[in-house]
Amino acid sequence: MRRDVRILLVGDEGVGKSTIITSLIKESYVAHVQHIVPEVTIPPEVTPENVTTYIVDSGAGPYDRMHLESEIRKAHVICVVYSIDNPNSFDRIPTYWLPHFRQLGVNVPVILVGNKIDLRGGEVTNEALEDEIIPIMNEFKEVETCVECSAKLPLNVSEVFYFAQKAVLHPTAPLYDSRDHVLKPACVAALRRIFKLCDTNKDGILDASELNEFQRKCFDAPLQLQELEGIKAIVQEHAEGGVRDEGLTETGFLYLHTIFIQRGRLETTWTVLRKFGYAEDLRLTEGFLSPKFDVHPDCSVELSPLGYQFFTDIFETFDKDQDGALNAEELEELFSTSPGNPWLSQGFPETTLADESGAVTLQGWLAQWSMTTLLDHKTTLAYLAYLGYSNEPRTGALQITRARKIDRRKGKVTRNVFLCYVCGAAGSGKTSLLRAFAGKPYRWSYEPTSKVLSVVNSVDIDGSEKYLVLQEFGSKYEAETLRSSKKTDLADAIVYVHDSSDTNSFSYISNLRQQYSLDHIPTLFVATKSDLDLALQRHEVQPDVYCRRLGLQVPVSVSVKTGQMADVFHVVCGIAMNPQSAIPGGGERALSRTARVRMYVTLTALLGGCTAGLLVLYRTLRQGGGVPWWASWLFGRR
């Protein structure tokens, strides 16, 4: 909601614009006021809506034209003042003033203000007012309402500015079609989404406890029993199907907001909409979807226990048949309060665990959100909002891990979700490896990878559940990823895959290692298609020798076709958790450093002991008068 309101008063000469402003400020009538009152600023603490209010006067003479048009363009709301004793000033509203605003391209709320009702005895004539105003409101949708006042009495002066503020802060136009007297489609869509979010048990009814929680969330107050019964009575009387099983249906919920708006209580509906993140255009605000959440580039983001609990609860709520999996229909209903399934373009549900029918299991559901949070935590934050995460701050559903550099230096990893790049020549079996990890059946036909492919699953490590994300790249994306230090720094491990039956397969990954700086990443080599005859690789050394020279374990041999996986995914997760154990060359360098340190300590100790002994001998000989030449040379006494 905006924090300031700029109110402009326009109208013909002599209608009392300046006098209305003066009466508001002075709280009494001032007979003689200047032609144009200087701009007035009202601080937020003295306004009901707690917003800074600027009140701007204007003139209607020829010399005022440029200033008037400038102010019209800056105004948030325009009050067109006419005089009760001057019918011509009223007639010029639809013939001059309102068309003039449109001609300038200005589309802001307009309040019609009838001044000088003291000349009519100080009475507001509602029926006559409606007869005159409704035709104008039907022709000009920007006209919000009409207020009659007297700057002289004064009467209804503060109401003029209250309605002007209200027209800006709680506008009618986005919510209600005044011509057809119905809620607009965007408003209906927003309120339906809010209804679904508040219907926590998804039975299509807001029962007493759900309505009470809705009232508490939106208005910070419980719903009294008498109020609840009154609401149900009104809805039941006027909206067929609005009440069922002592609860409010979606039809009844929409009817309630319709009568709020028709009775001028737009602030009620706007309060509800804004509590659920909607802006004036009835779209969820960027600030609501993406709250401030700073993450250091060397850190990663994971779901917190609160986040895992939320996604577990929502899974169980929408698993209507209670078969432990979400089918396509259940997923569609789950995502009905959002723009849709965020993973469809990524090949979901092929990216995670599903049952034989393709329905996503709870393990696969949590794994998919773990991967999404790791790769793009902003999507998770937005979907927490879309799906109705109610705890504040919403960022509490996520947690930032310790920097990878610190983890590697300490040799102890504190994270639970790991990212592993899978690289290798085309046809080496990378995709089959990923599909096996996600529990998918083996594909007999070869399909080259043309984009980034990511899969996720949980891995049990000593009774602790970790999530491992495997990423494979098409040739176009592989080079782009590996040459970027920002992207390679995100990897917790890298797996080099070669086809053990193809003589040229290993050379590809050897060249890859020479081309890019990847030796800071924990590394594992995997030899696929172990069910086929082992081929001698056309490389200066064979894979096992190559790995030993790097201080790494020899390639893990697997066959996805026969299901002989050699527990390779546990191995990958293990090196991600213990990075120092799989840094290429790390073993040799560590041994070399250790040897140098030990040698230094030993020599220091030996030399220290020898020097002390020789110093005692030197002092003894000197006192005896006979100092050998080697002693004088050693201690600098020649």
pLDDT one-digit tens code per residue, 114-166? 999 999 876 766 655 677 888 998 899 899 999 999 999 999 999 999 999 99
**Average confidence (pLDDT) over 83-99:** 96
Domain shared by 318 and 210, yes or no: no
Q: What is the largest CA-CA distance in the chain?
A: 134
pLDDT at residue 309, rounded to an integer: 98
Residues 111 and 247 occupy one common structural domain: no
Sheet with strand 453-461: strands edge to edge: 453-461, 464-472, 417-424, 493-499, 523-528, 556-557
Contact 149, 111 (CB under 8 A): no
Which residue, 282, 313, 24, 278, is CA-closest to 151? 24
Q: Among residues 384, 403, 422, which one ends one of the domains? A: 403
Task: Give the residue ranges of DSSP H helices in 48-115.
Answer: 65-74, 87-92, 98-103
Residue 248 pLDDT > 70: yes
3-state class of 571 per DSSP? Answer: helix
Structure confidence by residue, pLDDT tens digits, 487-520: 999 999 999 999 999 999 999 999 999 999 999 9
165 three-state secondary structure: helix
* 396 pLDDT more than 60: yes
Stronger pLDDT, 451 or 269, i.e. the higher one: 269
Inside any domain, residue 292:
no
E strand or H helix at 400 = strand 398-400
Instruction: Encode pLDDT of 275-334 as tens digits.
Output: 999 999 999 999 999 999 999 988 999 999 999 999 999 999 999 999 999 999 999 999
Angle, vertex CA 415, rays to CA 411 and CA 417, nearest 5: 130
Cis peptide before 87 (omega within 30 of 0): no
What pLDDT does residue 124 have? Answer: 67
Q: pTM above 0.75?
A: yes
Q: Kindly state whether residue 176 falls inside one of the protein's structural domains.
A: no
* Domain count for the chain: 5
**Band of the pLDDT at 571, cuts 50, 70, 90?**
very high
Least confident of 437-451, 583-597, 605-619: 605-619
**CA angle 116–118–119, rounded 5-degree value:** 80
Burial class of residue 339, CB neighbours in 10 A (0-12, 13-18, 19+) = exposed
Residues 333 and 259 both lie in one domain: no
Q: Are 367 and 471 members of one domain?
A: no
Q: Please give the residue range of the domain that contains residue 461.
A: 411-589
What's the token pair of residue 256? Answer: 């309630």
Which residue, of 238, 260, 283, is where some domain finishes? 283
- In 556-626, DSSP assigns E strands to 556-557
First to last CA, the chain: 91
Indicate if 419 and 371 belong to the same structural domain: no
- Tell whether 438 and 544 lie within a shared domain: yes
Residue 104: inside a domain: yes
Write the burial class of residue 393 (CB in 10 Å: 0-12 exposed, 13-18 middle, 19+ buried): exposed
CA-derived radius of gyration, the chain: 38
Residue after which a domain boundary falls, among 170, 192, 220: 170
Residues 550, 618, single domain; the answer is no
Element (H, E) at 144: strand 143-148
Confidence at residue 344, expressed as pLDDT on a 0 to 100 scale: 92
CATH code where residue 334 lies:
1.10.238.10
237 and 370 part of one domain: no
Mean pLDDT of the region 524-540: 96
Q: Is residue 430 part of a domain?
A: yes
Specify whether 8 is located in the same domain as 146.
yes
The predicted-structure confidence for 230-246, as pLDDT tens digits, reads as follows 999 999 999 999 999 99
**Do 444 and 382 reside in the same domain of the chain?**
no
With vertex at residue 103, the alpha carbon angle to CA 100 and CA 105, rounded to the nearest 5 degrees, is: 115
Average pLDDT over residues 16-39: 95
Task: Please tell me which residue, 100 or 46, carries the higher pLDDT value.
Answer: 100
Q: Is residue 131 part of a domain?
A: yes
Percent of the chain with pLDDT over 70: 91
- CATH number of the structural domain spanning residue 439: 3.40.50.300
pLDDT value, residue 59: 94
One domain, residues 152 and 23: yes
* 177 inside domain: no
What pLDDT sits at residue 475? 77
Q: Clarify whether residues 426 and 543 are in a common domain.
A: yes
Higher per-residue pLDDT: 467 or 611: 467
- Per-residue three-class SS string for 352-370: CCECCCCCEEHHHHHHHHH
Q: 106-117 in b/e burial notation, b at 16+ Cβ within 10 A?
A: bebbbbbbbbbb
Asked if the structure places residue 61 within a domain, the reply is yes
Residues 79, 18: Cα–Cα separation, whole Å:
12
Of 352, 413, 355, the closest CA to residue 575 belongs to 413
Q: Is residue 136 part of a domain?
A: yes
